[in-house]
Amino acid sequence: MTSDLPLCPPWDANPHPPRFSMPDGAYDTHVHVFGPESDFPYQSNRAYTPRDASVEQLFQLHDVLGFKKVVLVQASAHGVDNRAILAGVAKSPERIRAIAAVGEDVTDAELRRLHEGGVRGIRLNLVDKGGMPFSSLGALRVIGERIKDMGWHIEFLVHVEADEEFRRLVPTLPVPVSVGHIGYTKAPAGIDHPGYRDFLAMLRDGHFWVKLTGPYRISAADNFPYPDVTEKAHAVIAAAPDRCVWGSDWPHVIHFRGMPNDGDLLDALADWCPDEEIRRRILVDNPARLYGF
């Protein structure tokens, strides 16, 4: 290992199947792939060092969980070097889509190459070191115009309740916007936090897609079942059942509390959304639209 940055703990290698029947064609919309570092090096400006996590290991997980499609999301550790996700898509292009990271200087030819490689959006990580390659949030309006005709969207990792500038920006963008980790507002803040209330209102008005990911990242609990996340999950599903998607967040990088079992994370979805039809939309129909499968 070439860095003294924190080494991520290993994921739970013994996932159990979910307790409900997975609908045919289900999507896991949020995973990362890493390694080997010799082939896909990490940027020095990063917050953590991941363990190797391959597409083959991901497919072993999905065979247990029942997923048929997956979205590889560019991790901040890789900066704007998208080679790892493109190599991952190439291993099963009918099964995989990707979300890339680009800078303001990206060429139209590179955007087209990324599209042909399975990319369907760009990611801005406003939380972790090395995840924001743009000079300002305002610069995203320009890139939004450039990716609009390809049917792409912009995915943010952001604390939605705390970033008023971000909330002002979103209605001005010419492409759809998704946010991870149920808005990434810590559960103790509750849904009555003024910034989170604004977010929910914007969600109801059609300004956001939401990823039902990472409950362990916002919960005050160290281990599953993260009961304090349920209120937020219920709120976003009620606000926009046709703009919610689910993701495992495998391999759960930079998480140093109790490592979740991916089967438990799916079981949490069943608790958040007991309605089988809405759950099918979240797992199948909604991601099919957002990621252009």
Give residue for tokens 């946010």.
179
Cross-strand pairs, 245? 211
Using CA atoms, how far apart are residues 77 and 57, in angstroms rounded to an integer? 19
Would you name the residues annotated as active-site residues? 249
CB–CB of 157/125 below 8 Å? Answer: yes
Q: Where are the beta strands (DSSP E) in the chain?
A: 27-31, 69-73, 96-100, 119-125, 153-157, 177-179, 209-212, 244-246
Q: Which tokens sit at 147?
A: 């990716």
Please state, as a whole number, how many other Cβ atoms lie within 10 Å of the Cβ of residue 180. 25
Using CA atoms, how far apart are residues 259 and 255, in angstroms rounded to an integer? 7
205: which residues sit within 8 A by CB, 6+ positions away? none
